Structure 1
Amino acid sequence: MDIIEEFNHFIDESSEQEKEAMKLLLNSLKAKRENTNLTYIASLLQFKTTLLDENLLEMEMPNSPLLDNSLGIVHGGLTATLLDTALGTLASHVPGNKKGAVTVELKVDFLSPGIGEKFICRAEVVHNGRQLVRMEGKVRNEKGNLIASATGTFFKLPE
């Protein structure tokens, strides 16, 4: 069976929830195609980034059925992905960084269940060194409830 037949067969037998998940997946693939700088995971999780200044960034992730764990709340690994991506994105844009940054260390504290319509991560530079950037981040839902916090260290890639 080729991929088109397999896809059509899947759609024919899908529940409404599976169809909604498939629609989210297709929309994320379209978004990636239109914006080649976007990663597949950022596209799938529908990240929206706002650089507030050289030391402060906000990244938003809307809730969707794709994010749920078996308890019906946002999977902790996806909350950690939001934190890592927001902190790393800001670390890649600090003054003196020309190539980008990669995660050296990330410590996440999960403080309350991931419940809400959207999750907003606020990332902040703690220290911008010659090779390393030290970061802090907090994830809150749209009501301001603190979901998770993190600290991270990022290595500035050489040119």
Structure 2
Amino acid sequence: MDIREELNDFFEESSTEEQDVLKIVLASLKAKRNLHNKTHIGGLLQFETTYIDDKILEMVMPNTPILDNSIGIVHGGLTATLLDTAMGTMASRVPGNKKGAVTVELKVDFLTPGIGEKFTCRAEVVHNGRQLVRMEGKVRNELGNLIASATGTFYKL
């Protein structure tokens, strides 16, 4: 069976929620193809980035069924992915960084359940060293509730 047949069979038997998830997956593939998102995970999680200044960015992740864990709140690993991506993206843009940055260390504190319509991560440069960038990040829902905070160290490539 080829991919078209598999998709047609799946679609014919799918629930409304499964169709909604399939729409998100298709939109993420289109976003990657059109270079709106640099990675598939950024497209799938629908990250939207705004640079506040040369040390701060905000990255928004809307809540979708893809984010749910088994008890119906945002999976902590996806909250950590938002933090890591936002801090790493900002670390990649600091002065003296020419190719990007990779995570050396990431510490996440989960403070309240991941409940909300959207989650905004504010990532801020704490220290820009010769090879390492120290970052802080905080994730809040649309009501301003603090969901998680993190610190991270990133290596300049």
Aligned mates of 1:42, 1:2 — CA distance in 2: 27
Q: Residue in 2 aligned with 1:100?
A: 100
Aligned mates of 1:149, 1:96 — CA distance in 2: 26
Q: 2:102–2:155: 8 Å Cα contact kept in structure 1?
A: yes
Q: Is the partner of 2:22 in helix, strand or coil? A: helix
- How far the C-alpha of 1:21 sits from its partner, in A, is 0.5
Q: Is the partner of 1:113 in helix, strand or coil? A: coil
- Deviating above 2 A after TM superposition, structure 1's stretches of 4 or more consecutive aligned residues are none
Aligned mates of 2:5, 2:40 — CA distance in 1: 24
1:68-147 mapped onto 2 (5 Å cutoff): 68-147=68-147
TM value normalised by structure 1: 0.97
Aligned mates of 1:79, 1:144 — CA distance in 2: 15
Q: Residue in 1 aligned with 2:152?
A: 152
Aligned mates of 1:96, 1:47 — CA distance in 2: 25
Aligned mates of 1:37, 1:142 — CA distance in 2: 23
- How far the C-alpha of 1:10 sits from its partner, in A, is 0.4
Aligned mates of 1:146, 1:60 — CA distance in 2: 14
Q: 2:31–2:37: 8 Å Cα contact kept in structure 1?
A: no
Unaligned runs of 5+ in 1: none
Aligned mates of 2:15, 2:124 — CA distance in 1: 42
Cα 1:145/1:37, change in 2 over 3 Å: closer
* Percent sequence identity over aligned pairs: 76
- How far the C-alpha of 1:38 sits from its partner, in A, is 1.4
- How far the C-alpha of 1:54 sits from its partner, in A, is 1.1
- How far the C-alpha of 1:146 sits from its partner, in A, is 0.1
- How far the C-alpha of 1:113 sits from its partner, in A, is 0.3
- How far the C-alpha of 1:151 sits from its partner, in A, is 0.2
Q: Is the partner of 2:52 in helix, strand or coil? A: strand
- How far the C-alpha of 1:96 sits from its partner, in A, is 1.1
- How far the C-alpha of 1:36 sits from its partner, in A, is 6.7
TM value normalised by structure 2: 0.98
CA RMSD across the alignment? 0.8
